[in-house]
Each structure stands twice: as C-alpha cells, then as structure tokens.
Structure 1
Amino acid sequence: MDLHRSRAGLVIGLVLLPFGLCTVLAGLAGSTLRLVGGLIVGGLVMLASVAGIVEAVRPFRFHISFEGLTVRTAELNRLLPWAEIEHLVLYQPPPVLSDKRMPSPLLLLVPAARSTLDLPLTHSSPLDDRPCMVLLEVHDVREKTDQVAGALARYGGSRFTDHRQLVRQRFDSAPLSIEARGYDRTAVDALVQKGREALRSEDFLLRLAAKAQVERALVELPLVAHGYDPVRVDAFLRDLSAALARFEEGEEEPG
C-alpha cells in the first residue's frame, strides 16, 4: 500500500503567498510605520507560504508491503525490512486545550537490535517506554488513520500495535460495583458512553467537550440508593478524562 502526501500544505501556501505579497506592496505605498508593518507581516506570511510549498513538493514515499517499509522523507530514504523493525506503534497523543487542534497520530518505530538505522531515537514508546522515533505524522498523508492502521496490521502482523485500540479497550467495560449508596447508575452509564464515543473520534471539540462533561460530573454526580461505588467511579472517570484530552501540556495520561 502506498501512502500519498496531503496537499493541504501546498494549497495553504499557494493561497497565502499572494496575500503576503499584497501586504508587502500595500506597505510600500504608505507611511513609514505602515511600511515597516507591511514588510514584517507580509514577509513572515510569504516565508511561511514558501516553507509550506517547499515541504509539500519535497520527494515523499511511504510504501507498506510484505518486504517492509519503503520510506523516502527528509530524514530517511531506504527500505526498512521487517527484520530491522522491533515494533511499530500507532499513537494518538491526547489533544491539549491550548493547541486548539487535534494533534496528528504518530507512527513510532522501535528499531530492532540488528537494525542499521542511524537516526536519533527522540521519543519513548507508549507501550513500554523503549526509545523510538517518529516515522510518520499521519496527518501528513491523505489516507485515513484507520486505513494506515489496517495496512500496517496486515503486513506488519505482531510487529504492529494500534495504541488507540488499547486505550479504547480499557474503557469498553467499567469495573463498577453497586453499593447501598452511590452514584446514579443511569447518569454514569450515559457519561461513560459519551466518553467512549469521543475516544473513537479525531474531532478536537468533541473530545474536549466530553472531557469537560467528565470533569464536571466528578463534582456533580448525584448520590442515590443502590448506585455505583463512588471511589471506583471517580478513579475510572479520572482515567477517562486524561485519555480524552488535557487542559495543560504537563497533565499526565493514564498509565
């Protein structure tokens, strides 16, 4: 399966480039202050546009097959046989409120001991903290994340793990017991279902909204007779909230 580079950067660059040029030209016809402002703003827009266009037309290949991964990017241009790959992990970083967007899913590569890959391992695997590198940001290609995951599972077999599925499976069943007095079961079940649906989504606003609901429920869930054990519910909801999104960069994900 061949992955194809997304055209979004090229389109945005081509749209912004004339805007930046017009801003510079408009500044030339005005006062000194307007000239300086036009040169700064227009120049920055043009630089960003050119950078986006250059990145979009840079040679790219990502081919997934029984032989391994054939990769051509700015950092790498070679076949990575499966024998050189200890593990591949498709990881979805939780969104952060301040970023105002959903982060790209990352394809992380843990090289095998026999690998001759000579690139810095700047990340840690979410599975076991082994050193790894980002091989691909999935938003950089046109194929959907599930399509990429399907191809990697088909050709990579046990060398590939879709971390998104592990996160979802953790919340597929809630280990909640019933106590003489606890949280309203209907309210908890509805909340957990919304959280599960949001975990399956790459919609930034949906996940943040679900997190906000969970956080509010942690202080507002009503106590009733024969409800869910509050201690277990609170622990489960805190983990669900952390998996959905983070309000701050330093907020930890559930272990």
Structure 2
Amino acid sequence: MDLHRSRVGCVIGLVLLPFGLCTVLSGLDDSTFRLISGLVVGALMLLGGVAGIVEAVRPFRFHISFEGVTVRTAELNRLLPWEEIEHLILYQPPPVLSEKRMPSPLLLLVPAATSALDVPLTHRSPLDDRPCVVLLEVHDVREKTDQVADALARYGGSRFIDHRQIVRQRFDSADFPIEARGYDRDAVDALVQKGREALRSEDHLLRLATKVQVERALLELPLVAHGYYRTQVDAFLRDLSAALARFEEGDEEPG
C-alpha cells in the first residue's frame, strides 16, 4: 500500500502567494506606515506560500508491504525490512488545552537491536520509554488514520501496535467496588461513557470539553448510600482526564 502526501500545504501555498503579492502591491502608494506594514505582512504571506509549496513538492514515498516499509523523506530513503523493526507504534498525542486543533497521530519506529538505522532516536516509546524515531506524521498524508493502521496491521502483524486501542481498552472496563457511602453509580457510569466516546473521537473540542466535565466531576460527584468506592473512582477519572487532553509541557495540572 502506498501513502500519498497531503495536498493541504500546496493549496495553502497557492492561496497565500497571490494574496501576499496583492498585499505588497496595495501598500506601495499609501503612507509610510501602510507601506511598511503591507510589505511586512505581504512578505510573510509570500514566505508562507513558498514554504507550503516547497514542502508539498519535496520527495516523498511511504510504501507498506510484506517486505517492510519503504520510506523516502528528508531523513530516510530506503527499505526498512520488518527484521529491522522491533515495533511500529501508532500514537495519538493528547490535545493541548492552549491549541486549537488535534495534534497529528505519529507513527513511531522502535528499531530492532540488529537494525542498521542511522538516524537520531529523538522520541520515546509510549509503551516502555525505549528510544524511537517519528517515521510519519499521519496528517501529512491523504489516507485516514484508520486506513494507515489497517495497512500496518495487515503487513506488520505483531510488530505493529495501535496505541490508541491500548488507551481505549484501559478505560473500557470500569468495575468499581461498592462502599457504604460512595459516589452515585449512575452519575459515574454516565461520565465514564462520555469519556470513552471522547477518546474514540478526533474532535478536538469534544475531548477538551469532556476533560473539563471530568475535572469538575472530581469535585462535584454526588454521594449516596452504597455508591462506588471513591478512591478508585477518583484515580480512574484522573487518568481519564490525562488521556483526554494535557496542559502545555512544563505546566502543572491543577490538583
């Protein structure tokens, strides 16, 4: 199966170039301030347009087969046989609360011990923290994330791991014990179901909104006789909140 580079960068570039040129030209006959601001804004648009087109036409190949993965990018240009691959991990980073769109799913390569891969291993595996490298940002190709996952599972077998499924399975079973005075079971069950649905979604706003609901519920869940054990529910909901979205790197989540 061949993956194809997304056309988004090229389209954006082709839109920005004429707008940037018009912005530059429109400021030539105006005041000094408008001239300078027009030149600055227009130049930025032109640079953005050129960058988008250059990125779109750079050499690219990503072919998945029974032999392995053939990659042609700025860093790699060769066949990676399955024998050189310990794991290929499809990882969906949680959205950041301060950003406006979902981050791209990442295809992470954990090389086998015998691999001759000679690129820096700049990332860490979400499974066991082993060094790995980003082989692909899935938003850079036209194929849907699930299509990429299906092809990797078909050809890669046990070497491919869909980390999204691991996260979802972690929250698919919520069997809380009962205590004399605990959280209302219906309220907890409804909240957990909302969280599961949000985890399956790539809707940025839905995940953020659900995280807010979970955080609020940690303070507001009603107590009833013979309800769910509070300590276990609190721990589960904190983990669910972290899986749904995160704060900026280096910032602390409110307790």
User: Shorter-chain TM-score: which interval?
Assistant: over 0.9
2:185 aligns with 185
The Cα offsets for residues 75-100 of structure 1, whole Å up to 9 and x where unpaired, read as 11111111111111110000001121
Post-superposition offset of 1:251: 5.9
Gaps of 5+ in 1: none
1:232 aligns with 232
1:132 aligns with 132
Q: Which secondary structure does the structure 2 equivalent of 1:179 belong to? A: strand
Tell me the number of residue pairs that the alignment of Structure 1 and Structure 2 aligns.
253
Q: Which secondary structure does the structure 2 equivalent of 1:225 belong to? A: strand
8 Å Cα contact 1:242/1:252 also seen in 2: no
1:79 aligns with 79
CA distance in 1, matches of 2:26, 2:249: 39
Post-superposition offset of 1:248: 2.9
The Cα offsets for residues 17-74 of structure 1, whole Å up to 9 and x where unpaired, read as 1111111111212111111111111101110111011111112110000000011112
1:242 aligns with 242
2:120 aligns with 120
2:31 aligns with 31
8 Å Cα contact 1:97/1:247 also seen in 2: yes
Report the TM-score when normalising by structure 2: 0.96
The Cα offsets for residues 135-192 of structure 1, whole Å up to 9 and x where unpaired, read as 0000001111111111111111111111100000000011311111111111110000
1:201 aligns with 201
1:55 aligns with 55
- Change in 2 beyond 3 A, CA 1:252/1:155: farther
Percent pairwise identity: 85
CA distance in 1, matches of 2:18, 2:98: 30
- Change in 2 beyond 3 A, CA 1:175/1:250: farther
8 Å Cα contact 1:175/1:232 also seen in 2: no
Which amino acid letter does the alignment assign opposite residue 91 of structure 1?
Y
Q: Which secondary structure does the structure 1 equivalent of 2:218 belong to? A: helix
Deviates most, 29-38 or 120-129: 29-38
Which amino acid letter does the alignment assign opposite residue 126 of structure 1?
P
1:159 aligns with 159
Report the TM-score when normalising by structure 1: 0.96
CA distance in 1, matches of 2:232, 2:185: 13
4+ aligned runs moved over 2 Å, structure 1: 247-253
